Amino acid sequence: MDSMEIDDGIYLDKNFTMEGLITTADFRRKPKTCRCVTVCLTLLCALLLAGNIGQIIYYEIITACSSAVEAKASYDRMSQETEHLQNESDSLAAERQQLLSNYDSLTAERKQLEARLRNLTEEKEQLQQSFTSLSSERDEFKAGFNNLKKARDGLQANYDTLKQQSSQLRTNFNDVQRSLRGLQDRQANLIVAKEVLQAKFSDLQKEKDNLQTRYVTVMTNRDQLQSNYSSLKRDSDQLQRNYNTMSRSKNGLQTSYNSLWKEREQLRLNYNSLWRENNELEANYSSLVTDKDKLQNWADKLLAKLKAIPCMEGWKKFDISCYYFSSVKKNWTESRKACDAQGADLVIIDSMEEQVFINKILNMNQNAWIGLSDSLKEGTWLWVDGSPVTRSFWQPGQPNSFNGNQDCAEFVQKNIQPGGEWNDDGCFAEQAWICEK
């Protein structure tokens, strides 16, 4: 058990009910004894009084006949006994009085003891409170002790560490001491050197004074230069900022220039390539122009020859073609067969001049088949050589494919400008036709 702990078993085992002082039984027993003595004395007195009365009755009633002497003697003895009993009674009364006095004394003593008991009870309660308080303090002390124990362990660890550091410092101290001795030797040497230097110092002091004078002059110049330097520094900073700005611009321009340079190189390459292609094309063009001129001459000569060739009898000449205008009537298919039998086909009208020419040949309001139909696909008009219509002369509202059965085109002669119109009609209708070859 730790020295800080308190053995509370002593307090717990202690009987604060006045054990060893006086017991509750003692408090009750002493008043009862007094009462018993009093009762016994009373009973004894009553018994003695009854005996005397019995003897008197006996001598008066039973032995009335005895002699007066005996009676007198008896009376005397009785008187003596009575006196003796009276004395005893007095003695007992005195004893009773003594006992009553003792009883009162004991009663007072009991009251005192009760008062002491109350005091002791209060003191016990105070002690109990003190014990509780001390228990709390003990717990606190125990917690504090544990904390101190931990702190002590920590300090012990620190102490061990410091001890190691102390050993290290002691070793270092020894090293430093050795170094100190070396330094002391060097100090002695330095003192000698110092005296030499002291002399030199005096000389240098003089030189210093001279230099001080020159220094003041130089300082004045330096301040002036410092002022100039500050001004130049500001200018330099401004120039530096301008330079940075221009540098960034230059970098941007350099990037753009590089990009443009690459594009220029690419364009130059493309230009060279195009130049070569252009030269080749120009050469080809010149060659083609020469060929075209030759062909044009040849075509002109050929066209002139074709125009000069006369048509067969019954055919009419226009430009380089010959036209046949039938005098009989057939449907569109038979008409085409008739043209084919003569090495021709139904006429293909592809110019205003040809339209006007045909209109002039036909009679007034005459209709005639031409080589145009939409029999292959309704609404798509094709010439007999498969070519589409490039120039049309349809009547207003035509072609209307009336009743859904008009797939062949006819020429309708009209004396209106420019000349004649077209209409779609049923291919089965029989009428004149126009061949071209």
Residues that bind Ca ion (CB under 5 A): 348, 374, 401, 406-407, 423-424, 436
Closer to Ca ion by Cβ: residue 48 or 368: 368
Least distance in angstroms from the C-beta of 296 to Ca ion: 22
Residue whose CB is nearest to Ca ion in the complex, by number = 401
Beta carbon of residue 417, minimum distance to Ca ion (angstroms, whole number): 20
Q: Which is nearer to Ca ion, 56 or 348 (CB)?
A: 348
Shortest distance (Å) from residue 372 CB to Ca ion: 11
Report the distance separating Cα 434 and Cα 318, nearest Å: 13
Residue 422, strand partner residues: 394, 411
Query: Measured between alpha carbons, how far is 322 from 174 in angstroms, rounded to an integer?
Result: 141
CB of 379 to Ca ion, least distance (A): 7
Answer for the pair 399, 381: CB distance below 8 angstroms, yes or no. yes
Q: 424, 399 in Cβ contact below 8 A? A: yes
- With respect to Ca ion, which residue has the nearer C-beta, 48 or 347? 347
Between strands 345-346 and 316-318, the pairing is: unpaired
**Minimum CB distance to Ca ion, residue 391 (Å):** 11
Instruction: Quote the CA–CA distance of 425 and 406 in Å, as a whole number.
Output: 4
Q: Which is nearer to Ca ion, 407 or 421 (CB)?
A: 407
Closest contact distance (angstroms) between CB of 290 and Ca ion is 32
Tokens representing residue 43 in the block:
């009973």
C-beta closer to Ca ion: residue 207 or 353: 353
Q: Are 371 and 337 in contact (CB under 8 A)?
A: no
**Amino acid, single-letter form, for residue 143:** A
Cα dihedral 140/141/143/147 (nearest 10)? 140
Residues 6+ apart with CB under 8 A from 316: 322, 323, 324, 325, 361
Q: How far apart are CB 329 and Ca ion at their closest, in Å?
A: 18
Neighbours of 410 (CB within 10 A): 25
Write down the least CB distance from residue 346 to Ca ion, Å: 10
SS3 260: helix
Beta strand residue intervals within 270-344, DSSP E: 316-318, 321-325
Question: Cα(44)–Cα(91) distance, rounded to whole angstroms?
Answer: 12
Of 74 and 401, which CB lies nearer to Ca ion in the complex structure?
401
Q: How far apart are CA 351 and CA 205, in angstroms?
A: 126
- Shortest gap between Cβ of 323 and Ca ion (angstroms)? 8
Whole-number Å distance between alpha carbons of 388 and 380: 8
Q: Based on CB atoms, which residue is closest to Ca ion, 331 or 401?
A: 401
Comparison of 103 and 381: residue with beta carbon closer to Ca ion = 381
C-alpha pair distances (Å), 152 with each of 142, 145, 158, 268: 15, 10, 9, 92
Helices 24-57 and 68-308 pack at an angle, to 10 degrees, of: 150
User: By C-beta, is 88 or 374 nearer to Ca ion?
Assistant: 374
